């Protein structure tokens, strides 16, 4: 399968939206070449504002631009684009329900060699806890394009999580993505693998490995972490009776926690959580996925232990 980083979709999709007549503007913090907002700046120089290394300023400028009727997107790396400006996201963007889209790149452990300081593993939890914020975690390039388009077309704050690491193609066509909807990618009867982001491809590969051992795993892409697709999650949990969540994020506060909150209130179900439980370290992304048990082999091993 072809591999592309989800960040590659960012600038290209913003240009497409401007070409379609949408009043898009992007604000970046001196990382436009890495986040790909620079693609928009090259095509439409008046649509990109670079504030320098100042994420707090980036968020406040985006908030101000949104008040003039523009659809404001932000850049930066996820660890800085959420953590360094959390106060501005919380108190300026979300409290006022502004039309600002927080769309950083370089999220998760697969940032790789940049090490723990740059590997954002708390961002989904930080963002999904904020009132008015919606959270999308696309699995591949096409998913990222869809997430950016949904964010642009839907008023109010959004968090779209993108990465630097090239990931396999999960969707070979422009699939029908929607806010609040998950996608069942593989039917199964013994266990449900609920994954988001880079872990979707890993969960599909894990399901192949488990099938060789007689274990039937259903794989669901939880593309929309907030709002959750409650019907789809309750349906798969009812069908298999066991749920394993897989995310490139801390096991606390992220997609797994959101699923657990839903099941605890509506359908108590045995669960296992595949994710991070510590800070990361410096190594290539694929090496880190294996080291921390987030690759297909690690997921399959957790499922076998869980079912045993």
The count of structural domains within the chain is: 2
Are 25 and 128 part of one and the same domain? yes
At 269, give phi and psi (nearest 5°): -140, 135
Model pLDDT for residues 238-263, shown as the tens digit of each residue: 999 999 999 999 999 999 999 999 99
CA dist., res. 143 & res. 88, Å (int): 27
Angle at which helix 255-266 crosses helix 230-240, to 10 degrees, equals: 70
Residues 283 and 208 in one domain: yes
C-alpha 55/C-alpha 53 separation (Å) is 6
Nearest to 103 by CA among 173, 32, 171, 199: 32
What residue has token string 């400028």?
61
Give residue 182's pLDDT: 98
What residue has token string 């101000």? 64
**Do 163 and 213 belong together in one domain?**
no
* Together in a domain, 208 and 297: yes
Give the integer Cα–Cα distance in Å for 286 and 206.
15
Q: Is 55 a catalytic residue?
A: yes
Rounded Cα gap, residues 49 and 66, in angstroms: 13
- Co-location of 279 and 155 in the same domain: no
Residues 198 and 84 in one domain: no
158 and 198 fall within a common domain: no
Q: What is the pLDDT of residue 172?
A: 86
176 within domain boundaries: no
In a domain, 221, yes or no: yes
Provide the pairing of β-strand 100-102 with 71-74: parallel
Vertex 201: Cα angle to 200 and 204 (nearest 5): 90
Per-10-residue mean pLDDT of the chain, 308 residues long, equals 90 97 97 95 96 97 98 97 97 98 97 95 98 98 97 98 95 90 98 98 98 98 98 98 98 98 98 98 97 98 97
Q: What is the CATH classification number for the domain harbouring 226? A: 3.40.50.920
- pLDDT, tens only, 252-302: 999 999 999 999 999 999 999 999 999 999 999 999 999 999 999 999 999
Residue 106, classified by CB atoms within 10 Å of its CB into exposed (0-12), middle (13-18) or buried (19+), is buried
Q: Coil, strand, or helix at residue 145?
A: helix
Within a domain: residue 16?
yes
Residue 42, domain extent: 3-168
Tell me the pLDDT of the chain averaged across its residues.
97
CATH number of the domain where residue 147 is located: 3.40.50.970
Q: What is the reported pLDDT for 174?
A: 76
Among the listed residues 55, 199, 247, 248, the single catalytic one is: 55
Q: In terms of domains, do 150 and 261 share one? A: no
Same domain, 146 and 255: no
């Amino acid at each position: 399968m072809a591999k592309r980083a989800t960040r590659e979709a960012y600038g290209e999709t913003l240009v497409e939206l401007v070409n379609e007549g949408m009043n898009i503007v992007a604000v970046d913090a001196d990382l436009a070449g890495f986040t790909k907002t620079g693609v928009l700046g090259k095509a439409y120089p008046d649509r990109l504002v670079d504030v320098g290394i100042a994420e707090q300023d980036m968020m406040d400028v985006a908030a101000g631009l949104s008040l003039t009727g523009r659809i404001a997107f932000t850049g930066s790396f996820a660890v800085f684009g959420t953590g360094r400006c959390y106060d501005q996201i919380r108190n300026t963007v979300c409290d006022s329900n502004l039309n600002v889209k927080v769309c950083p790149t370089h999220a998760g452990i697969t940032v790789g060699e940049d090490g723990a300081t740059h590997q954002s593993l708390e961002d989904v939890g930080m963002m999904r806890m904020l009132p008015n914020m919606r959270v999308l975690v696309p699995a591949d390039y096409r998913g990222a394009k869809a997430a950016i388009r949904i964010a642009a077309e839907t008023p109010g704050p959004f968090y779209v999580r993108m990465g630097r690491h090239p990931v396999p193609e999960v969707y070979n066509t422009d699939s029908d993505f929607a806010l609040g909807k998950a996608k069942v990618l593989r039917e199964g009867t013994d266990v449900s693998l609920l994954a988001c982001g880079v872990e979707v491809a890993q969960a599909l590969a894990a399901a192949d490995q488990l099938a060789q051992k007689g274990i039937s795993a259903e794989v669901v892409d939880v593309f929309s972490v907030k709002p959750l697709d409650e019907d789809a999650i309750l349906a798969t949990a009812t069908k298999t009776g066991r749920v394993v969540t897989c995310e490139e994020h801390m096991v606390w506060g992220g997609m797994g926690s959101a699923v657990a909150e839903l099941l605890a209130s509506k359908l108590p179900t045995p669960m296992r959580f595949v994710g991070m439980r510590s800070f990361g370290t410096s190594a290539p992304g694929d090496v880190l996925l294996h080291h921390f048990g987030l690759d297909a082999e690690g997921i399959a091993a957790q499922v076998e232990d869980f079912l045993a």
